[in-house]
Amino acid sequence: MCLILTIAAALAFSVAFFAGRKNHSGTKSVATVTLMFWAAALMWSVDGIASVLSGEPFFDISVEDTLLGGIIVAAGLLAFGLLTILERRKAAR
């Protein structure tokens, strides 16, 4: 479930990134968090492939895995918030 949540967050931030590029708004923090989510999605995809090769299902649909996905999405949103604050402070100087 963490893979599904991470891919959903990566897609949402990708859409925000490409929409922000048209408006020339601050996209550095969006781009950074987008890459973070895509990297995590790639990592869990490789983990899913390893699970399939060992005879387990690709997706782990458990409460613990859902909680992990929620933590990862929350950490990404926190990183986005901090990067945005730092980007705005730098632009205000």
User: Two tokens at 49?
Assistant: 């492939």
Percent of the chain beyond pLDDT 90? Answer: 73
pLDDT score of 2: 92
pTM equals 0.88
Once rounded to an integer, what is the mean pLDDT over residues 11-28?
82
How does residue 26 score in pLDDT terms, banded at 50, 70 and 90? low
Once rounded to an integer, what is the mean pLDDT over residues 52-75?
93
Q: Is pLDDT at 11 greater than 70 in this prediction?
A: yes
> What distances in angstroms separate CA 71 from CA 5, 26, 68, 89, one per listed residue?
10, 25, 5, 27
